[in-house]
Structure 1
């Protein structure tokens, strides 16, 4: 191949790529040419919200109360274990088995209660979600308003895991995917 043929091939390839790109762009005329994005720091914002601070204090009080309750139950088990060790030589094998069984049952009960309170999706987690909901709702409403006001398409949170916390719904292709899966809404007239 000579140099002219290579040049023509390169120009033709570029022309095809440009045309494909413009066709894709033309298919979604309502999408701005450039996506705007931004970021926020939710830790910083939440630190400035008085209702969030109050919620955190309430959560800490609840946590401390449950921890104290668990501590008392644990101390009761420790006392039973100490009493057993002191009296072990005086107990019959039946009494030993009965005491060990009682201590084991109390330990199991304590562990189950601890899990019920502080376990995954436990009472503490649920209470925390309930308490924080109002402050979080206010925060996310404000985030959405700012994103719309500044015409942002994507908004990242630099606190924590760097999550996307707002995306302009114009870029949501979920309905198209549902349609491809045969799960689309037959009453949906907007395409």
Structure 2
């Protein structure tokens, strides 16, 4: 019994000693990216492209809405063949709009590809700077407080976001 108690106490002390040696830092990638001019430019460009594509879809939707109104107004006077033809036209136009939305904004759509082209190199640069700091400062963990992981309290002296910006050569 005494041996078990001593073994348990030793294990507890070793665990506490290992935990005390762990080093970590907290960063805010949203803050870091917001300070990088290339990222801001890329983000503005993505917003403009997205707005342009959304306007294209909205214009097509307005045409479809007008086609629907015209069809509803003329429906009583149309023959069955003409009704079927107009309904088919409406269906084709509706499908065209859905396909365009998917192509532009869907998973791995044009906006996603554009984001990968413009933003990913900047994110990789930030990640490499973070990794360089982590290795140089011997951090065991670097937590990102901007998204995903929730940090309820973070000592401000642990926030190394400005250090990452300095590593990237950006003054804040």
Q: TM-score, normalised by structure 2?
A: 0.77
Cα RMSD for the two superposed structures: 2.3
User: Does 1:12 find its partner at 2:7?
Assistant: no
Which residue, out of 37, 40, 51, partners 2:27?
40
For residue 164 of structure 2, what is the aligned residue in structure 1? none
Measured at CA, do residues 21 and 93 of structure 1 come closer, stay the same or move farther in structure 2, by a change above 3 Å? same
> What are the ranges of 5 or more consecutive residues in structure 2 without an aligned counterpart?
151-172
Of the structure 1 ranges 79-88 and 54-63, higher mean CA displacement relative to structure 2 is found in 79-88
Aligned residue pairs total: 148
CA distance in 2, matches of 1:137, 1:23: 37
User: Does 1:85 find its partner at 2:72?
Assistant: yes
Question: Deviation at 1:68?
Answer: 0.9
Secondary structure at the residue paired with 1:155? strand
Secondary structure at the residue paired with 2:25? strand
For residue 189 of structure 1, what is the aligned residue in structure 2? none
Question: Deviation at 1:144?
Answer: 0.6
**Bigger Rg, which one:** 1
CA distance in 2, matches of 1:32, 1:72: 60
User: Does 1:117 find its partner at 2:117?
Assistant: no
CA distance in 1, matches of 2:11, 2:20: 15
Which residue, out of 40, 51, 60, partners 1:64?
51
Question: Deviation at 1:102?
Answer: 0.7
For residue 61 of structure 2, what is the aligned residue in structure 1? 74
User: Does 1:155 find its partner at 2:137?
Assistant: no
Greater RCO (CA < 8 Å, at least 6 residues apart): 2
Q: TM-score, normalised by structure 1?
A: 0.70
Matches within 5 A, 1:100-115: 100-115=87-102
> What are the ranges of 5 or more consecutive residues in structure 1 without an aligned counterpart?
1-8, 25-30, 164-191
For residue 185 of structure 1, what is the aligned residue in structure 2? none
Q: Deviations over 1:29-59 (max 9, x none)?
A: xx99712111101111111111110111010
Question: Deviation at 1:74?
Answer: 0.7
